[in-house]
Amino acid sequence: MCQKNQKGQTSGITSKTVAGTKAICTPQQTSTATTVLVTGAFGNVGQSVLAALNEPKTWQIDTIPAAMRAKLTEEGLTIRVLDVPNTKNRKLARKLQKKIPMEIIWGSINDEQTVQQALSGVSVVIHLAAIIPPLSNAMPELAYTINVEGTDLLIKLMQAQTNPPKLVFSSSVAVYGDRVDNFYIRTDDPLAPCDDDAYAHHKVACESMIRTSSLSWVICRLSYIVWRKKLFMDPLMFRMPLETHLEVCHTLDTGLALARAGFVPEAEGQTLNLGGGVSCRTTYGEYLDKMFKLFGLGGAGFLPREAFSKKGYHCGFMDTEKAEALLQFQHHTLEDYYAEVREETRMKRFWVALARKSAQAWLIAQSPFLRARKLVPNL
């Protein structure tokens, strides 16, 4: 089955099923379009990366060389995805393929044959595949297998290619560890992940492997990513101290930065903090208060301070000046995000407000710190 890029040109992709469960798509040598592989593409950030890769305007920045800008704009990209074939991902893939032409390879980042085929003819790899908190903390061994061993295999197979692709790696602000007091974060700060944050330790290990490899690479450390479609209660909500300084980054801006990173020569070999900039800064307490008001809960004042941790969590204000100069991605403010949430919750706000007391009591009961002190009943 042939896919078409943004310009309607065929990218020469054939699809077939192997072993009944893995859809292995083999690129044919009938297109000159650049091929980009996105691992873990059906998560929040991954969807934004796919949207950016499919948008011709993505390439219209002066830090991408003129010849490359013209090629990407005129020919478009062949977008290839590697992700696990669960029910959620398959459903999302069917939806996204109606808007974004893509070649999908179903399989594991730990399967050598699958990864080898996914890398065929690829120029850039945007590596997002990972098990994130809270699952990475609940199942650290499984998370290590995917996050570290999967990345190690990917690096080795990329290095073995005749023309090794460039690697854009999605790391995390979590590598800096607890920054409640020293909240301004620079890319050259020491890496000190919290002891109980398996995900952060995995990212540190992966960064080290990338730096010692022979690949061309860009490491992007992602801040607190916000998305209007991810509004359910985060199980880690109480882990972050209320005093934490928070710099959010809109998912669309994050996806744009990651998409561009592989095509900006000056970004090669750089470690970049991806945050939303000054207009996206607040404190966690202020952020929760605003969000709860938008949900109809009347602010966050009903939550006792004892419900939250006082240390041991990441986030802060980030030095994004270099990243913005190179990738020119900061387009959404925190107020823009609040406006999106206001619209997203428009039909729910009234009903939540009616059940406000019950909802507030339920939220209080979710705090593990209050539970440990037996200050709330086990609901």
Class for the domain spanning 13-236+247-281+313-333:
alpha beta
Name the band, by pLDDT with cuts 50, 70 and 90, for residue 213. very high
pLDDT at residue 27 tops 90: no
pLDDT digits (tens, 9 = 90+) for 338-370: 999 999 999 888 899 999 999 999 999 999 999
pLDDT digits (tens, 9 = 90+) for 48-100: 999 999 999 999 999 999 999 999 998 889 999 999 999 999 999 999 999 99
What average pLDDT does the chain have?
A: 90
pLDDT at residue 17 tops 50: no
Chain CA centroid to CA 159, Å:
24
pLDDT at residue 286 tops 60: yes
Per-residue pLDDT at 235: 67
Give the strand order in the sheet containing 245-250: 224-226, 245-250, 281-283
Mean local confidence (pLDDT), 157-177: 97
pLDDT at residue 171 tops 90: yes
Domain boundaries, the chain: 13-236+247-281+313-333
pLDDT digits (tens, 9 = 90+) for 232-275: 667 689 999 999 999 999 999 999 999 999 999 999 999 999 99
Per-residue pLDDT at 148: 98
- Of 281 and 372, which is predicted with more confidence? 281
Per-residue pLDDT at 4: 40
